[in-house]
Amino acid sequence: MNAWRKIGENSSEAVILAVDFDSAARPEARFPAFAARVRPAAELWLTAQPDNAEREFLTAQTYLEFWAKRPPGRVEALVGFCVGCVFLPALADQIERIQGSRPALLLIDPERVVTSSILRDFSNTVGGMAVLTDAEREAAISEARSLCDSAGDDFASAATGVVKLYEATAGIAFDRLGLDDETSEDLMGLFRSYVSYLLAAHTLIPKPTRAAGVALTSAQFRSGAMHATSERSFPVGTESMLDDERVAEAARAFFQGVLR
Domain 4-113+206-259 has CATH 3.40.50.1820: yes
* 55: amino acid identity, one letter: R
* 12: amino acid identity, one letter: S
pTM for this entry: 0.94
Q: What is the pLDDT of residue 1?
A: 59
Q: Which residues contact 98 (CB under 8 A, 6 or more apart)?
A: 68
How far from each other are the two terminal CA atoms of the chain, in whole angstroms? 33
Half-sphere CA count of 189, side-chain side, radius 13 A: 13
Beta bridge pairs of residue 81? 108
The full set of domain ranges for the chain reads 4-113+206-259, 115-202
Instruction: Answer whether 233's CB lies under 8 Å from 217's CB.
Output: yes
Q: Which residues contact 256 (CB under 8 A, 6 or more apart)?
A: 40, 41
pLDDT above 90 coverage of the chain, percent: 83
Per-residue pLDDT tens, the chain, 260 aa: give them: 599 999 999 888 899 999 999 998 888 999 999 999 999 999 999 999 999 999 999 999 999 999 998 899 999 999 999 999 999 999 999 999 999 999 999 999 998 888 988 999 999 999 999 999 999 999 999 999 999 999 988 999 999 999 999 999 999 999 999 999 999 999 999 999 999 999 999 999 877 666 689 999 999 876 656 678 889 999 999 999 999 999 999 999 999 999 97
* 9: amino acid identity, one letter: E
Q: What is the pLDDT of residue 229?
A: 86
Q: What is the pLDDT of residue 244?
A: 97
Q: What is the pLDDT of residue 221?
A: 78
Q: What is the pLDDT of residue 12?
A: 85
